[in-house]
Chain A
Amino acid sequence: MLSVAKAVDAALRALLVVLVVMLVFSIAWQVMSRYLLDDPSPWTEELARFLLIWIGMLGASLAFRQRAHLGLELLPQKLKGTAAVVLKYFTLFVIALFAITVLVAGGSNLVALTWELRQYSPVLGMPISWVYSVVPLTGTIIVFYCLVQALEDDADTAVSRGVGEL
Chain B
Amino acid sequence: MEIALLIIVFAGLFALGVPIAVCIGLSTLTTMAMTMDFLPAVTTIAQRMAGGLNSFALLAIPLFILSGQLMAQGGIARRLVEFSKAIIGMVPGGLAFVNVISCTLFGAISGSAIAATTAVGSFMIPEMKKEGYDKNFAAAVTVTSATTGLLIPPSNTLIVYAVASGGVSIAALFIAGYVPGILISLALIMVCAIYARRHKMPAGERVSARAALGYTVAALPSLFLIVLVIGGILAGIFTATEAGAIAVLYSLLLSAVIYREIGIADIASICLKAAQTTAVVMFLIAASIAMSWILAYENIPAMVAETLLSISDNPIVILLLINIVLLLVGIFMDMTPAVLIFTPIFLPVAVALGMSPLHFGIMLVLNLCIGLCTPPVGTILFVGCALAKTTIDRMIRPMIPMYAAMFVVLMLITYIPELSEGLPRYFGLID
Which A residues lie at the B interface, using CB under 8 A?
Answer: 13, 16-17, 19-21, 23-24, 27-28, 30-31, 35, 45, 48-50, 52-53, 55-60, 62-64, 66, 68-76, 87, 90-91, 94-95, 97-98, 101-103, 105-107, 109-110, 113, 131-132, 134-135, 160, 162-166
Contacts and interface: CB of A to CB of B under 8 A. Distances in A.
B220 interface: no
B244 A109 contact: no
Given A28-B246, A74-B17, A94-B18, A163 B280 contact: yes
A53 B54 contact: yes
Complex A-B, nearest 5 residue pairs according to Cβ-Cβ distance, in ascending order: A59-B279, A56-B282, A106-B42, A164-B114, A106-B46
Contact of A70 (B113, B147, B280): B280
A135 B46 contact: yes
13 contacts: A20-B272, A56-B279, A59-B275, A71-B19, A73-B377, A75-B15, A87-B17, A94-B18, A102-B45, A102-B46, A110-B46, A165-B379, A166-B280
Contacts of A55: 62, 275, 278-279, 282
Classify the interface of chain A: helix, strand, loop or mixed.
Answer: helix
Given A20-B62, A28-B245, A28-B249, A48 B113 contact: no
B18 A48 contact: no
B59 A131 contact: no
B59 A49 contact: yes
Contact of A90 (B16, B20, B59, B63): B16
A93 to B, nearest CB: 10
Contact of A59 (B41, B59, B282, B335): B282
B14 A72 contact: yes
Nearest to B378: A165
B283 A60 contact: yes
Contact of A19 (B20, B268, B275, B376): B275
Interface in B242-270: 242, 244-246, 248-249, 268
B157 interface: yes
B246 A135 contact: no
A150 to B, nearest CB: 15
A31 B112 contact: no
Given A59-B275, A70-B20, A102-B45, 8 more contacts: A23-B62, A53-B50, A55-B62, A59-B278, A101-B42, A113-B43, A164-B114, A165-B150
Nearest to A17: B271
B17 A76 contact: yes
Given A31-B242, A102-B42, A135-B50, A52 B22 contact: no
Given A17-B272, A69-B20, A107-B46, A52 B62 contact: yes
A69 B334 CA distance: 11
B335 to A, nearest CB: 6
A20 B275 contact: yes
Contact of B276 (A19, A50, A59): A59
Contacts of A31: 238, 242, 245-246
B380 interface: yes
Contacts of B42: 101-102, 105-106, 109
A76 B49 CA distance: 28
A72 B15 contact: yes
A50 B58 CA distance: 12
Contacts of B282: 52, 55-57, 59-60
Nearest to A96: B22
B16 A91 contact: yes
A87 B283 CA distance: 23
Nearest to A164: B114
Interface string B315-359: 000000000000000001111110000000000000000000000
Interface string B41-79: 111111101100111101100110010000000000000
